[in-house]
Amino acid sequence: MTSETLWYANRATGAVCLVLFTVVVLLGIAVRLRGRILGLPRFGTVSLHRALSLWATAFLALHIACAVFDSYVGITALDVLVPFASAYQPLWLGLGTVAFDLMLAVLVTSLLRERVGHRTWRAVHRLAYASWPVALIHGVGIGTDTGTDWMTWLTVACVAVVVAACGIRVAHAARAARRTPAALLRTAEGARP
């Protein structure tokens, strides 16, 4: 492959990763809220979340491979795993590495969910909330399409839907937290002789 082909492939896989991981975050929030998507039963939403997570991870692997094999930028395998170690745009590439490392932790614990336990899995899985914006900032900072109309609108749309979904998630959690003490009080009052 030529360096130009790898450059185009890197740009394309980066944009696809943005869209796929955005949808994965949205589906993850829907699963947490026990939502159903497109008339699917709840287990269908969970299955779709898992399947798209694997597809997003595959595109991320392809995105990283294109960057490593492109001799123009000189990114090494070490740069992929160790944040801020690269000579090439260390801040922006380092943020991509941080996002990748966080997603790697989420992926590994998801694959080993039965062995690590639900509580550990959930704690690590929450890193996805940190990984998405860090990856977004990486793309905005290092992406050669940053500032083009299509990439600006794609980025704005992805940010808008994730912010809205996170807002719904936080509002749902706040409502549940307000209901819980009242429900506990009613239960305690009902148990009195």
In tens, the pLDDT along 132-186 reads 999 999 999 999 899 899 999 999 999 999 999 999 989 988 888 877 665 555 5
Q: Which residues, 6 or more positions from 44, have their beta carbon under 8 angstroms from its beta carbon?
A: 36, 37
Average pLDDT, integer, range 10-17: 94
Q: Tell me the per-residue pLDDT of 20-44, one tens digit each, with 9 for 90 and over.
A: 999 999 999 988 888 767 777 878 8
pLDDT of residue 183: 56
Q: What is the DSSP string of 107-176?
A: HHHHHTHHHH-HHHHHHHHTHHHHHHHHHHHHHHHH-TTTTSHHHHHHHHHHHHHHHHHHHHHHHHHHHH
Comparing CA positions, the residue from 47, 22, 21, 46 lying closest to residue 35 is 46
Considering its fold, how many domains does the chain have in total? 1
Q: 162 versus 189: which is more confidently predicted?
A: 162
**Cα distance between residue 101 and residue 99, in whole Å:** 6
The boundaries of the domain holding residue 162 are: 3-191
* DSSP code of residue 40: -
Q: Determine which helix (DSSP H) or strand (DSSP E) holds 103, and give its type and residue range.
A: helix 90-111
Which residue, 79, 60, 63, 86, is CA-closest to 6? 63
pLDDT digits 0-9 by tens, 52-95: 999 999 999 999 999 999 888 889 989 999 999 999 999 999 99
Residue 80 in 3-state DSSP? helix
